[in-house]
Amino acid sequence: MACDNDAPGDGIRWKNYPALTQPSKSYRWLVVKCQLPDVTTIPAGLDQNISQFFGISGTGYGNIPDYFHDVSYNRASVISDTFLGWVQAPFKSPDLARNGRLASSVPGRQQRVQECLSALPADQLPDLDTFYGVVVVNNAVQDGGACYVGQQTLTVGNKNHQLACVWFDPNSLLTEFAAHEIAHGLGMTHSYDDSLRNCGGNPGEYCDPWDIMSAQGTFQFRDRNWLIGGFASGAGPGLNAPGLMNMGWIPADNQRRFQFEGDDNQTFKLRALSRPRGTEPLVVLLAIGTDTPFDEIYTVEYRQGDGWDLGFVTDPRAPAAVVASGGAVFVHQWRPVGTPTSTLINGSFAGALQPCDTLVLHNGARYVTVDEFNVADGSATISIGFGRGKFKYCFRPSDRIKHDKRAVGSRLPAESDGLKEQSDRPLRVLPPRTSAPDKGPPLPPGVGQPG
């Protein structure tokens, strides 16, 4: 095998999610490298890192185009094919430092991007209207982030353009951070939970640690391809179902609706968002049906600790129950119109539902029960019904874990492992664990920060 000297970092290949659709929307980003005149050095390897992180040369290593290919199931092409610079900035590092002329995130980042682009000679400036957005990377570690949400008016050389806009520094090129900022550029907003806690923003904002739109308090995996100062960076997680629905990234064929009329429940087998397959369901939509349009719509999704969600089972801060079972079911309130788009319903389970857990919505209007996970298959079976749920036979994975530990401690022969004994054990009757969404206990420490 040829030596792959040009691969990013440790050169670990990334396994893309299966495509569910043909690419139908192109988000082409212009990347401009802008040098501060008082910072003479360009960090070693930064040029190659930039082109691989945003461009075709780094696909297959978990770069930005890979991230959005996967989470959009190939609907969105988010990629850079044009890299310009280094252009000299018409400002210096004190302008970006505390109280500097361009220090603020809003409107400072936008002003920096406008000034760097305007510094390019006119004959080197491509037709900006052929791009979706602009990323400017500078050569000094000071600040990174989106200028605003979506496309807005960017003024370059006295001409206005509708463009998305992101400012990055040399330490911004890691997916847990950059994918969040690029997603702002694509029009996405922060995710919330229903706790009203302070996770770094408004009450509840950044409080969904299972969604990249809650920024840096999320559960991430270590990525050895995109290095920061020679060290592994944080990567993932993916996007939750409300964010994907708003972007139109879950095909209609992969959506299901709870429309059951009887007095029993309706069962769904959900694919993990990281394990799409054919037209099998990725999300179940649940409308409570109040008088207010778009007010009480919930999404039910299954997330498994693989792909961009690998950090759910590898992040040291991830809840032990999720690490043990391999995944979790999440229920969000989704607002197709209005804000916030996405509110994680915590219930009694810190939002992460495990087999045998029942979440009661809207004071008993509906319930969602997790029946089982099949990690090898990448799927979870859930039941939805009216009311608060019923008593049912259930075997918790956490019971098996406890049993395994006891077996190891008592030095039983290897063939008496917990899995084998599990099949011999009778199932136990457990009362349903129910809770109202407005009475959640504190989440595990997954505190978000503005990004």
Min CB(61)–Zn ion separation in Å: 24
Cβ proximity to Zn ion: between 184 and 332 the closer is: 184
Residue with nearest beta carbon to Zn ion: 451
Least distance to Zn ion from the beta carbon of 115, Å? 23
Residue whose CB is less far from Zn ion, 58 or 451? 451
> Per-residue string for binding with Zn ion, 67-86, x by CB under 5 A?
--------------------
**Contact pattern for Zn ion over residues 392 through 431, marking x by CB under 5 A:** ----------------------------------------
- What is the C-alpha radius of gyration for the chain, rounded to an integer number of angstroms? 24
The dihedral through the CA atoms of 24, 192, 315, 356 has a sign that is negative
Q: What is the three-state SS of the chain?
A: CCCCCCCCCCCCCCCCCCCCCCCCEEEEEEEEEEECCCCCCCCCCHHHHHHHHHCHHHCCCCCHHHHHHHHCCCCEEEEEEEEEEEEECCCCHHHHCCCCCCCCCCCHHHHHHHHHHHCCCHHHCCCHHHCCEEEEEECCCCCCEECCCCCEEEEECCEEEEEEEEEECCCCCCHHHHHHHHHHHCCCCCCEECCCCCCCCCCCECCCCCCHHHHHHCCCEEEEEEEECCEEEEECCCCCHHHHHHHCCCCHHHEEECCCCCCCEEEEEEEECCCCCCCCCCEEEEECCCCCCCCCEEEEEEEECCHHHCHHHHCCCCCHHHHHHCEEEEEEEECCCCCCCEEECCCCCCCCECCCEEEEEHHHCEEEEEEEEECCCCEEEEEEEECCCCCEECCCHHHHHHHHHHHHHCCCCCCCCHHHHHHHCCCCEECCECCCCCCCCCCCCCCCCCC
Q: Least Å distance between CB 330 and Zn ion?
A: 20
Interface with Zn ion: number of residues (CB under 5 A): 1
Query: How many other CB atoms are there within 10 angstroms of residue 405's CB atom?
Result: 11
Tell the smallest beta-carbon distance from residue 152 to Zn ion (Å).
15
β-bridge pairing 358-361 and 342-344? unpaired
Residue 274: closest CA among 314, 248, 244? 244
CB nearer to Zn ion: pick between 105 and 266: 105
Q: How far is the CB of 187 from Zn ion (least distance, A)?
A: 12
From residue 214 to residue 253, the character string flagging contacts with Zn ion as x (rule: CB under 5 A) and all else as - is: ----------------------------------------
Nearer to Zn ion, 36 or 147 (CB): 147
CA distance 146 to 52: 20
- Closest CB 136 distance from Zn ion, rounded Å: 17
CB of 260 to Zn ion, least distance (A): 38
Given the rule CB under 5 A, which of 77-85, 102-110, 377-385, 443-451 is the region that contacts Zn ion? 443-451
* 448 belongs to the binding site for Zn ion (CB under 5 A): no
- With vertex at residue 304, the alpha carbon angle to CA 62 and CA 244, rounded to the nearest 5 degrees, is 70
CB closer to Zn ion out of 82 and 104: 104
Q: Which of 169, 357 has the CB closer to Zn ion?
A: 169
Q: Which residue, 211 or 296, has its beta carbon nearer to Zn ion? A: 211
Please check whether residue 348 is in contact with residue 432, taking contact to mean a CB–CB distance below 8 angstroms.
no
120 or 134: CB nearest Zn ion? 134
C-beta closer to Zn ion: residue 14 or 177: 177
Taking the complex as a whole, how short is the minimal distance between the CB of residue 109 and Zn ion, in angstroms?
A: 12
Distance (Å, whole) CA 265 – CA 377 = 23
Residue closer to Zn ion by CB (options 214, 379) is: 214
Shorter beta-carbon distance to Zn ion: residue 234 or 319: 234
CB of 67 to Zn ion, least distance (A): 16
> Minimum distance between the CB of residue 208 and Zn ion, rounded to whole angstroms?
12
Q: Min. distance of Cβ 280 from Zn ion in angstroms?
A: 32
Among residues 204, 276, 397, 451, which is the contact residue for Zn ion, using CB under 5 A?
A: 451
Q: How far is the CB of 139 from Zn ion (least distance, A)?
A: 23
| 135 vs 360, beta carbon nearer Zn ion | 135
Chain positions contacting Zn ion, by CB under 5 A: 451
